[in-house]
């Protein structure tokens, strides 16, 4: 049985996430770190099982959304974006946005070592919270709560160049549809040695499918791959 003070604390958190638990003990469990369990004699369970569940729930929410939102993205690109969203760094930031750390039940040692601000602990608690919401309700409810915040993160990473390896995307596509890999060729170099510019073409089955320029061979190849992806209508043309 939760104390009146703890119940009031958790009421604030429920208001923040926009969901009222049918069984508030599930919420309390999601916020109980193993260090707290180890230091208390009363029968308690930590949040690790909910953390396990929440990781899958968040993965499913992100995956389902992206399949609909980005029909032309390859499996490899979708995996990279999902890994960037459902990871410690991103989940820690989302946890801090709702001040999740202040609601955690920690052991004295963990408390004194700054556990409420530890990235790994906050990210795990955020996953556990998602698992508890799902367990207390259903996937649709969890989707309504978490998709709005996750959608912003997905959009950010989907538009970030470092998560769009165009060469890898093109290779995945050509291996699947042409049973071969792209061939990149430098067709032009210009400029002084310290400021070279390269022009590269990419061939698929000996046909030029893309052309790109860059200050390095790698950059030019990425630009050529992007051009090829556009020619295959895998990325919208400018």
CATH number reported for the structural domain that contains residue 129 in this entry: 1.10.1520.10
**Number of domains the chain is built from:** 2
Q: Which domain holds residue 150?
A: 4-163
Tokens for 7, please give them: 């119940």
Averaged pLDDT for residues 63-79: 86
Question: Is residue 189 annotated as part of the catalytic site, yes or no?
Answer: no
Residues 150 and 170 placed together within one structural domain of the fold: no
pLDDT exceeds 60 at position 163? no
Specify the DSSP class assigned to residue 102: G
pLDDT exceeds 90 at position 127? yes
Whole-model pTM: value is: 0.71
pLDDT exceeds 50 at position 231? yes
Residues 87 and 31 placed together within one structural domain of the fold: yes
From the candidates 55, 110, 136, 169, give the one annotated as an active-site residue.
55
Averaged pLDDT for residues 202-207: 96
What rounded mean pLDDT belongs to the chain? Answer: 91
Choice between 48 and 162, residue whose per-residue pLDDT is larger: 48
pLDDT exceeds 80 at position 3? yes
Residues 148 and 191 placed together within one structural domain of the fold: no
Question: Is residue 127 annotated as part of the catalytic site, yes or no?
Answer: yes
From the candidates 127, 136, 169, 221, give the one annotated as an active-site residue.
127
pLDDT exceeds 80 at position 104? yes
Residues 25 and 110 placed together within one structural domain of the fold: yes
pLDDT reported for residue 43 = 73
The domain that holds 181 is classified in CATH as 3.30.160.20
Residues 174 and 104 placed together within one structural domain of the fold: no
152-162 in b/e burial notation, b at 16+ Cβ within 10 A? ebbeebbeeee
Order the strands of the 207-214 sheet from edge to edge: 183-190, 197-204, 207-214
pLDDT exceeds 70 at position 161? no
Residues 178 and 74 placed together within one structural domain of the fold: no
pLDDT reported for residue 103 = 97
pLDDT exceeds 60 at position 67? yes
């Amino acid at each position: 049985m939760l104390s009146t003070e703890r119940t009031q604390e958790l009421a604030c958190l429920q208001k923040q996430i926009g969901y009222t638990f049918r069984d508030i003990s599930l919420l309390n469990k999601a916020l109980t770190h193993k260090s707290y369990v180890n230091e208390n004699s009363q029968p308690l369970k930590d949040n690790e099982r909910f953390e396990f569940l929440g990781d899958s729930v968040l993965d499913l929410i992100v995956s389902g959304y992206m399949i609909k939102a980005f029909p032309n993205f390859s499996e490899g690109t979708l995996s990279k974006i999902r890994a960037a969203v459902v990871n410690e760094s991103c989940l820690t930031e989302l946890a801090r946005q709702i001040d999740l750390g202040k609601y955690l039940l920690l052991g004295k040692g963990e408390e004194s070592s700054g556990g409420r601000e530890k990235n790994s602990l906050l990210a795990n608690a955020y996953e556990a919270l998602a698992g508890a919401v799902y367990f207390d309700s259903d996937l649709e409810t969890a989707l309504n709560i978490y998709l709005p915040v996750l959608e912003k993160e997905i959009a950010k990473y989907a538009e970030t160049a470092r998560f769009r390896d165009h060469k890898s995307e093109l290779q995945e596509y050509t291996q699947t549809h042409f049973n071969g890999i792209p061939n990149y060729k430098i067709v032009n170099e210009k400029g002084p040695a310290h400021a070279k510019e390269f022009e590269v073409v990419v061939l698929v089955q000996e046909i030029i499918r893309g052309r790109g320029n860059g200050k390095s061979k790698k950059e030019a190849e990425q630009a050529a791959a992007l051009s090829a992806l556009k020619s295959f209508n895998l990325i919208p043309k400018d």
